[in-house]
Amino acid sequence: MRIGPCPECNSTEVYYGKTREVQGGLRDEHQVYIPTSGLPLYADTYVCLSCGNVRLFLDEESKKDAATQLPTDKGWTKVS
């Protein structure tokens, strides 16, 4: 969905918005804030207008933070 059609309906009507300034840097204005006990994580939001599918993907900085935080953070459980 980040680089191609919607995985649910194969539509190309997928949208992603960007950017705004926060605390001295640029951050996507359509990102979802994910609270943790450490640094907050941010997920990029993609929306398919054909079927309504919404997908969240951690941004690159948040992926690094999540790898160290989520395995030991309260409220997060590994699925598999």
- Which tens digits make up the pLDDT trace of 28-37? 566 777 878 8
Domain count along the chain = 1
Residue 25 belongs to some domain of the structure? yes
How many helices (H) and strands (E) are present in the chain, helices listed first?
A: 1, 6
In a domain, 22, yes or no: yes
Residue 51 maps to a domain:
yes
Regarding pTM above 0.75, the answer is: no
- Domain of 37 in residue numbering reads as 14-65
> In this predicted structure, what is the pLDDT of residue 13?
96
Beta-bridged to residue 54, according to DSSP, are 47
Q: What is the dihedral of CA 68, 26, 57, 14, to 10 degrees?
A: 180
- Nearest-5° angle of CA 36, CA 27, CA 22? 85
Is residue 2 in a domain?
A: no
Residue 74 lies in a domain: no
Please state, in angstroms and rounded to a whole number, the distance separating the CA atoms of residues 72 and 50.
38
pLDDT digit string, tens, across residues 15-62: 987 655 555 555 556 677 787 888 888 888 899 999 999 998 888 888
